[in-house]
């Protein structure tokens, strides 16, 4: 598996599956979640999510991508940061692992991830990036390309640095 980093918008990625940083109700929201719902087609995405019956923190569930370039959306629920001693790291690792498992079940070969939990949920970006890179590189999967999509230059620089030291690649 190759892991690369880009600076960009998760909704515009031309990959088999994109990951959505969702909430437990899968009801849509702000940040990545709002952007994914809008770009996919809000009504269809809302109906597809409603049929999934919610999603626990650390778990992942798929819907079609509808109007997106990506064929599927893998919705995952990251932990809310509560200071770091409330199982946040374990839950965030679980998000990345479960997204790859769901991608494998779908037959997706390329998957793009946003920086799960680092927005409204408050996970410190560098620590979240370390969890992302080490978990992805340590998980057995049939996914061939993982793209880490940073939404700002500082996050992109962190990914680039971590991938250089862990043997991944930074693109763009
Ligand atoms: P969470 O609730 O899991 O913290 P957010 O959606 O609030 O999720 O933010 C997660 C990260 O995604 C943040 O770093 C935010 O800057 C970034 N982000 C927001 N919109 C987009 C987008 N359209 N594409 C990629 N990343 C985005």
DSSP 102-159: HHHHHT-SEEEE--TTSSTT---HHHHHHHHHHHHHTS--S--EEEEEESSHHHHHHH
Do residues 162 and 115 lie in contact, with contact meaning Cβ atoms separated by under 8 Å? no
| 9 labelled catalytic | no
Query: 140 lies in a domain?
Result: yes
Query: 172 lies in a domain?
Result: no
Query: Is the pLDDT reported for residue 167 higher than 90?
Result: no
Do residues 22 and 75 lie in contact, with contact meaning Cβ atoms separated by under 8 Å? yes
pLDDT digits (tens, 9 = 90+) for 39-51: 999 999 999 999 9
Domain count for the chain: 1
What is the extent of the structural domain holding 62?
2-165
Place of tokens 């680092």: 118
Given pLDDT bands bounded at 50, 70 and 90, which one contains residue 164?
very high
Residues having CB within 6 Å of any atom of ligand 1: 9-11, 21, 31-33, 35, 78, 114-121, 149, 151
Catalytic residue among 33, 59, 104, 152: 33
Do residues 15 and 113 lie in contact, with contact meaning Cβ atoms separated by under 8 Å? no
pLDDT digits (tens, 9 = 90+) for 94-124: 999 999 999 999 999 999 999 999 999 999 9
Query: 43 lies in a domain?
Result: yes
Mean per-residue pLDDT, 26-50: 97
DSSP secondary structure letter of residue 169: E
Q: Domain of 160: which CATH number?
A: 3.40.220.10
Q: What pLDDT sits at residue 172?
A: 42
Query: 81 lies in a domain?
Result: yes
Query: 113 lies in a domain?
Result: yes
Query: 170 lies in a domain?
Result: no
Query: 13 lies in a domain?
Result: yes
Contacts of 77 (CB under 8 A, 6+ apart): 22, 23, 24, 55, 56, 57, 58, 59, 60, 95
Query: 64 lies in a domain?
Result: yes
DSSP-based three-state secondary structure for 21: strand
- Measured in degrees and rounded to the nearest 5, phi and psi for residue 92 equal -70, -40
* Cα 154 to averaged position of ligand 1 atoms, centre (Å): 13
């Amino acid at each position: 598996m190759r892991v690369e980093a880009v600076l960009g918008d998760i909704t515009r990625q031309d990959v088999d599956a994109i990951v959505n940083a969702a909430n437990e109700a899968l009801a849509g929201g702000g940040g990545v979640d709002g952007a994914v719902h809008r770009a996919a087609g809000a009504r269809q995405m809302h109906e597809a999510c409603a049929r999934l019956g919610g999603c626990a923190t650390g778990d992942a569930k798929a819907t079609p991508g509808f109007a997106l370039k990506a064929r599927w959306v893998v919705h995952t629920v990251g932990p809310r940061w509560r200071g770091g001693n409330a199982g946040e790291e374990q839950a965030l690792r679980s998000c990345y692992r479960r997204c790859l498992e769901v991608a494998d079940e779908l037959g997706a070969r390329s998957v793009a991830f946003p920086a799960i939990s680092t927005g409204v949920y408050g996970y410190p970006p560098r620590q979240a990036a370390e969890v992302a890179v080490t978990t992805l590189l340590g998980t057995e999967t049939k996914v061939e390309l993982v793209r880490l999509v940073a939404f700002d230059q500082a996050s992109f620089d962190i990914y680039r640095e971590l991938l250089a030291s862990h043997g991944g690649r930074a693109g763009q």
